[in-house]
Structure 1
Amino acid sequence: MMRLCSKKAARGFSLTELMVALLLGSFLVAGVIGVYLSNVSTNRVNQQISELQQASQVSFQLLSQDVQHAGYAGCGNVMAAHVFNALNPPLAWWNNWTGGIQGFDSGGFPDFSNGAVVPLPNTDALQVMYGRGVSASVVSHNAAGNPAMVINQNLAGIVANDIVMSCDSKWGLIFQVTAVNGTDLSHAVGAGAPGNRTLQFGVAPNGVAYQRNISSDAGFVMPMESAAWFVGTRNNLNSLYRVVVVAGQVRVEEIVPNVTNLQLQYLQRGTANYVDASAGVVWENVVSVRAVLTLADNPSAPVALALREISQVVNLRNR
């Protein structure tokens, strides 16, 4: 005989029970959503930190290469006082040898990009110069001769209009190549831009100019690389830029976007502390550079300033 269920047993949930269940379910869903949103936010921050680290790694790798090569001339460390610059004045930042490195504080630096990029105020800049590529040995050099210089082989790919640096064990010479014919290099006066102002490469103690030639004994010649690093604004975006000059032509390279600051300090031989460029740095005595790069924050995933400031110390090899 079928047993009939009681009226009480057949009753469903009450309104109060349903409301309590919905409330508890809402708390559970809210907790799950909170955990999800927290994970999304954490992933965004971690992704930004990863991107910041990658950007700083790329920038410092390239900067380190320039700084480590600064001052290299093929003949060891050539002091600025022993380098004769035969180029026509006024000398631009990219052909004025100051020992291979020079820093600038708080936006007070040359127009490296010829107006293509506006420097960001209160940021520092760095200029480096060095011999680029493979050096060639000087077979003979007669400043007044034709050809003026003969080299053993042109592995460095020296071409007309290149600014080159030549040196031997006693001195260095900066000039513009006006013509290349195999292993023959010419440096005539009155051709090219900026061009060479003289063939009298020597200056006696009394100030009188005389003809001086690079010795074929341990003499070298190689293209001169000039590069500048600074933070600037172009198309309303702040970026870290590298400007390089090849054969007298300025090339602007955007290295890392969304950069808000670059600060530089220098350690000089025989000193214990890094100082700003404005502290009267003797550039030929600089043995190390400390760079601090600040990357822009992302409002959608804020990152602490300490994580956006990346610093690195680079030692010069040619000191």
Structure 2
Amino acid sequence: MSRGFTLVELMIALAVGAILLAGVGGLVQGTHDSSRLQQSHEQIQGGARFALERLGRDLLAAGHLGCASVSRLEQLDVVSSGSTFRTDFATAVTGHEAAGTGPGDTLDRDSAAANWSPTLPAALQGQILAGSDVLVLRRGRGPILPLSREKSRDRIFVEPAAALDDGCSDEICQDRTAVVTDCSRARVFTVTDIQSVNSGAEHALVHDSSGNAPATWGGPDADDGRDHFTDQGARVQRVSTVAWFVGLSNGVPTLQRWVDGDITRIARGVETLQLFYGEDTDGDGAPNRYRPADQVGDFEDVMTVRVDLLLSGGQRLRRPARSPTVELGPGTANRVGVTGAADRLQRQPVGMTFQLRNRGGDS
């Protein structure tokens, strides 16, 4: 016959069971914590790769207009009306340095001053997260369309590239900025109208007085031969001013890309963008110092751009809240520290240096 458990035996059994359950619970919780850490790490790594890849595309194309880089043009004129920020296509790359983020500074993300040097253009004001630098570049975008015949005084002719129902000929659209170039000279203008001509065999890109000064230039009867573009090697491409910065999206710091007034959200969890410009001050074609935007002597001498991001994961981890200082930037002399309120988010700095393809040497 079986006997019942004594009180002592029952208590021992319950204690052993409790220990086993605690062990299993700890194992499950540890697995859960490990999973959250892994998900946070993957989010950070994925966001960093995508952000740097997209930003790198713009930097590699900065200063390329149609078929030549700005540095190789014998002549670059801008007749498009508008702010210098949107029309300064002679300047391929520039930037705005956030207050308190210079070499040797420590940025507190939660109390940063909303100031930049030089002052932000009106188009970007109110959109940038304090303490984050701003990168501005100008570049050609989209297909390059050859001229179908010589230019007239107020229009440029190209073969049809797309339907006209949305006012575009491929990416070249009404009220957008474009460049016409023969690879040695270029003129930036506003497309004020797009017309189908010659029974639809051509598109005419019109530039009238509503968006250009002067409105009429070029053509075979031009007084200045520099204004004359023919179908022998000349082509047209859309050109844009592009800005990269960190702004808030639904309360979350997010790397964003501004193009001619349109904003694309690139990567969530990017808490700051820090930029350092590699200047060639001795003319040997290679950078010999890195400086923030407000300390660059001449942006024409910038050969490389160092991009540093601080990313945070979206998963709050089961660990004590902490607020380590993370250093961003090249070398040791140019670094900026970044800190903030203690929390349980995982953070990771990433950085990459990009060579400006349209600077020095052969394009």
Q: Determine the structure 1 residue equivalent to 2:178.
A: 164
- For the pair shown, the structure with the greater C-alpha radius of gyration is 1
Corresponding residue for 1:123? Answer: 132
CA distance in 2, matches of 1:111, 1:238: 21
Matches within 5 A, 1:18-29: 18-29=10-21
Alpha-carbon distance in structure 1 between the residues aligned to 2:87 and 2:277: 22
Mapped pair 1:221 → 2:236: yes
For 1:143-162, list aligned pairs within 5 A. Answer: 145=153, 147-151=154-158, 154=161, 157=170, 158-162=172-176
Match of 2:286 among 258, 263, 270: 270
**Paired position in structure 2 for 1:42:** 34
**More strand as a share of residues:** 2
**SS at structure 2 position matched to 1:35:** helix
Instruction: Write the deviation string for residues 137-196 of structure 1: whole angstroms up to 9, x where unpaired.
Output: 344235xx3x5433456576233322111223432211112233334333222x1xxx11
**Which one of 206, 211, 218 corresponds to residue 186 of structure 1?**
206
Q: Report the 3-state secondary structure (helix = DSSP H, G, I; strand = E; otherwise coil) of the residue aligned with 2:143.
A: coil
Asked whether the equivalents of residues 160 and 177 of structure 1 are also in contact (C-alpha less than 8 Å), the reply is yes
RMSD: 3.1
Deviation by residue 1:53-91 (Cα, 9 ceiling, x = unmatched): 2222222222122111111112321238832111235x2
2:254 pairs with 1:254: no
Q: How do 1:59-138 residues align onto structure 2 when only pairs under 5 Å count? A: 59-79=51-71, 82-89=75-82, 91-106=83-98, 108=116, 110-111=120-121, 118-138=127-147
Change (3 A) 1:103 1:93: same
Asked if structure 2 preserves the Cα contact closer than 8 Å seen for 1:267 and 1:288, the reply is: yes
Query: In 2, Cα distance between the equivalents of 1:170 and 1:11?
Result: 103
Q: Output the amino acid matched with 1:257.
A: R
Deviations 1:238-274 (A, max 9, x none): 22111112xxxx2122222232111112223422343
User: Which residue of 129, 151, 157 corresponds with 1:141?
Assistant: 151
Separation in 1 of the partners of 2:312 and 2:347? 11
CA distance in 1 between counterparts of 2:86 and 2:176 reads 12
User: 2:349 pairs with 294, 301, 309, which one?
Assistant: 309
1:192-211 matches, within 5 Å, as 195-198=211-214
Maintained 8 Å contact 2:36/2:315: no
- Residues 259 and 83 (structure 1), Cα distance of their counterparts in 2 relative to 1, 3 Å cut: same
C-alpha spacing 1:130/1:214, structure 2 compared with 1 (3 Å): farther
1:233 is displaced (CA, Å) by: 2.5
| Among candidates 242, 248, 269, match of residue 257 of structure 2 | 242
Seen in structure 2, the aligned counterparts of structure 1 residues 81 and 118 have a Cα distance that, compared at 3 Å, is farther
**Contact 2:39/2:315 (8 A) holds in 1:** no
Contact 2:313/2:347 (8 A) holds in 1: no
Q: What displacement does 1:218 show?
A: 3.2
Inter-partner Cα distance in structure 1 for 2:12 and 2:189: 89
Alpha-carbon separation, structure 2, partners of 1:25 and 1:83? 82
Counterpart amino acid of residue 35 in structure 1: L
Query: TM-score, length-normalised on structure 2?
Result: 0.70
Contact 1:118 1:234 in 2 (8 A): no
Cα displacement (A) at 1:40: 0.5
Structure 1 portions without partners, runs of 5+: 203-208
CA drift at 1:219: 2.5
TM-score of the two chains, using structure 1 as the length reference: 0.78
The residue identity in structure 1 corresponding to 2:150 is S
Give 1:185's aligned amino acid.
L
Q: Assess, with a 3 A threshold, how the Cα gap between structure 1 residues 275 and 38 changes in structure 2: closer, same or farther.
A: same
- Per-residue CA distance 1:185-217 (angstroms, 9 max, x = gap): 33222x1xxx11225879xxxxxx967314435
Equivalent position to 1:56, from 40, 48, 62: 48
SS at structure 2 position matched to 1:274: strand
- Paired-residue identity, %: 24
Output the CA distance in 2 between the equivalents of 1:17 and 1:113. Answer: 78
Q: CA deviation at 1:234?
A: 4.6
Moved over 4 A (4+): 111-115, 152-156, 199-202, 302-307
2:132 aligns to what SS in structure 1? coil
Could you tell me whether the CA contact under 8 Å between 1:98 and 1:283 is conserved in 2? no
Aligned to 2:110: none
SS at match of 2:212: coil
Letter in 2 for 1:311: G
Number of equivalences: 292
The answer to whether the 8 A contact 1:73-1:131 is kept is: yes
Distance 2:161 2:155 in 1: 15
Question: How has the CA–CA distance of structure 1 residues 186 and 38 changed in structure 2, closer, same or farther, with 3 Å as cutoff?
Answer: same
The answer as to whether partners of 1:74 and 1:220 remain within 8 angstroms in 2 is yes
